[in-house]
């Protein structure tokens, strides 16, 4: 039995194929430049390596058809019969306040996504197109929607309400929604396992730092507050997004520079953040290289970004009303950029957050959970590689079987101390060959295989 997961963006379609019977990822890949010229697919099949090919994809239906064709190709494919695909899980960025858990897609559900797409204009239209395209190609299997916003539906009203006219909330659904929910769900549950606690007894602060970045204060195993807002623009400094700024800034620039609404939207979402401050770079690797070469604006961008994360950690400790069990870093930058982690944690020692620089420098892997805090740090610091695709896969399988429920009443496979990711086990062997000392910081979980 195979579960296919799809994550369709405006110009891309990422996919993963999971063999449920063997609990293993057998293929993954991405179709890029969908709706644009120069389309291509990159496909990685277990035991067969990586395959790349150019292919024009003027729409998402053709992109999904290309994925299916690639998966069933005699040479590079991993399945021979489409009938082995029993469910498809779709990432949907914005579900508004309509959904507190994943759902099987029905015409009514799709209509709800259309109703709230003004809240997620950069993501929801592509998500909807991806679902409709996959339904055409695979019409006889359940299609399941896994929403970034669902995890955050446990936030209290003091966390999600804005201090704006109340009618904006009742009439236009204006409120904080939060995103990266699938990643926060996975890392929060894994933090509970690492800490040897039940989810309901776990209190952590998670920093999901990638090109897009957000934070989540997890209280009693549930989302209590998060940094992104009605859209993914609020909160941390990101690759090209501004994060927090004075709302009046938009009006000021509209008057001063004669900018229109679309100009402001584009500037704050696509021309700000690290790119806006540095003037050149949105990738942290480029920022680091430029800093090493003496680029002061790159250094300023780095310092603003890490200061913002540090400020949120302090505010979330106050919001939780208790000492958190751990600070968790995840996503591409959080998992690999020791410099960002060090800059974030430096100066938080008085709050009980003490980073070990040597441990931190070793933590560069997507294949193991590591502890980078000093031995005497009251609050642990973990790096937990996220696995959003696994959450999507397990939600889709449980929806198909009728066993799924909201996460507080549902147990995932990765909540077991004995859980292991076969692909990551193999990847870790290669990592340890390159960096044997990595073994010293890998979290040891009682009962693990």
CA distances from 412 to 49, 106, 186, 426 (A): 29, 24, 9, 22
Does 148 qualify as catalytic in the annotation?
yes
Tokens at residue 262, please? 């679309």
Angle between helices 107-115 and 124-137 (to 10 degrees): 160
Q: Which helix (H) or strand (E) holds 359?
A: helix 357-362
Q: State the chain's maximal CA–CA distance in angstroms.
A: 63
CA distances from 25 to 20, 44, 260 (A): 9, 10, 46
Cα–Cα distance measured from residue 265 to residue 257, given in angstroms and rounded to the nearest whole number: 14
Determine phi and psi for 416, rounding to 5 degrees.
-85, 135
Alpha helix (H) residue ranges in 116-272: 124-137, 157-160, 166-172, 181-195, 248-256, 261-270
Determine phi and psi for 91, rounding to 5 degrees.
-75, 130
Residue by residue, DSSP assigns 395-420 as HHHHHHHT----GGG---GGGSTT--
Q: Which of 19, 148, 325, 387 is catalytic?
A: 148
For residue 346, the cross-strand partners are none
Residue given tokens 């035991």 in the structure block: 47
**Do the Cβ atoms of 36 and 43 come closer than 8 Å?**
no
Spell out the residues 6+ positions from residue 89 whose beta carbon is closer than 8 angstroms to its own.
3, 4, 5, 6, 102, 144, 146, 392, 393, 395, 396
Q: What is the dihedral of CA 297, 299, 303, 309, to 10 degrees?
A: 100
For 75-111, give one letter per residue: b (16+ CB within 10 A) or e.
ebbbbeeeebbbbbbbbbbbbbbbbbbbbebeeebbe
Catalytic residues: 148
């Amino acid at each position: 039995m195979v579960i296919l997961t799809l994550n369709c963006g405006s110009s891309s379609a990422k996919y993963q194929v999971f063999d449920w019977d063997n609990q293993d990822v057998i293929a993954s890949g991405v179709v890029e430049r969908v709706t644009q010229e120069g389309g291509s697919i990159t496909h990685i099949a277990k035991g067969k390596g990586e395959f790349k090919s150019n292919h024009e994809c003027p729409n998402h239906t053709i992109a999904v058809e290309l994925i299916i064709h690639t998966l069933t190709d005699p040479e590079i494919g991993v399945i021979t019969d489409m009938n082995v695909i029993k469910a498809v899980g779709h990432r949907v960025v914005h579900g508004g306040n309509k959904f507190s858990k994943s759902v099987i897609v029905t015409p009514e559900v799709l209509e709800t996504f259309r109703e709230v797409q003004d809240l997620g204009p950069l993501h929801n239209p592509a998500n909807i197109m991806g679902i409709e395209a996959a339904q055409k190609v695979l019409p006889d299997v359940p299609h399941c929607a896994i929403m970034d916003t669902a995890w955050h539906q446990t936030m209290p009203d003091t966390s999600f309400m804005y201090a704006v006219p109340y009618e904006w909330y009742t009439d236009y659904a204006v409120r904080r929604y939060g995103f990266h929910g699938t990643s926060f769900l996975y890392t929060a549950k894994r933090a509970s396992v690492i800490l040897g606690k039940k989810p309901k007894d776990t209190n952590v602060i998670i920093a999901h730092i990638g090109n897009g970045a957000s934070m989540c204060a997890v209280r009693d195993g549930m989302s209590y507050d998060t940094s992104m807002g009605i859209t993914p623009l609020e909160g941390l400094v990101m690759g090209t997004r501004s994060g927090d700024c004075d709302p009046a800034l938009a009006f000021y620039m509209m008057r001063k520079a004669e900018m229109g609404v679309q100009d402001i939207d584009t500037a704050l979402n696509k021309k700000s953040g690290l790119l806006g401050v540095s003037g050149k770079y949105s990738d942290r690797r480029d920022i680091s290289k430029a800093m090493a070469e003496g680029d002061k604006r790159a250094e300023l961008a780095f310092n603003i970004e890490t200061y913002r994360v540090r400020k949120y950690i302090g505010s979330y400790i106050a919001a939780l009303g208790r000492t958190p069990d751990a600070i968790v870093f995840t996503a591409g930058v959080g998992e690999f950029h020791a410099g960002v982690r060090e800059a974030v944690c430096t100066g938080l020692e008085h709050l009980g957050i003490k980073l070990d620089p040597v441990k931190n420098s070793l933590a560069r892997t997507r294949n193991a959970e590591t502890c980078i805090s000093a031995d005497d740090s009251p609050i642990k610091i973990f790096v937990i590689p996220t696995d959003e695709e696994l959450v999507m896969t397990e939600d889709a399988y449980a929806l198909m079987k009728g066993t799924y429920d909201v996460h507080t009443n549902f147990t995932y496979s990765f909540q077991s101390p004995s859980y292991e990711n076969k692909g990551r086990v193999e990847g870790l062997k290669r990592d340890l060959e390159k960096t044997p000392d990595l073994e010293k910081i890998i979290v040891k979980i009682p009962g693990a295989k």
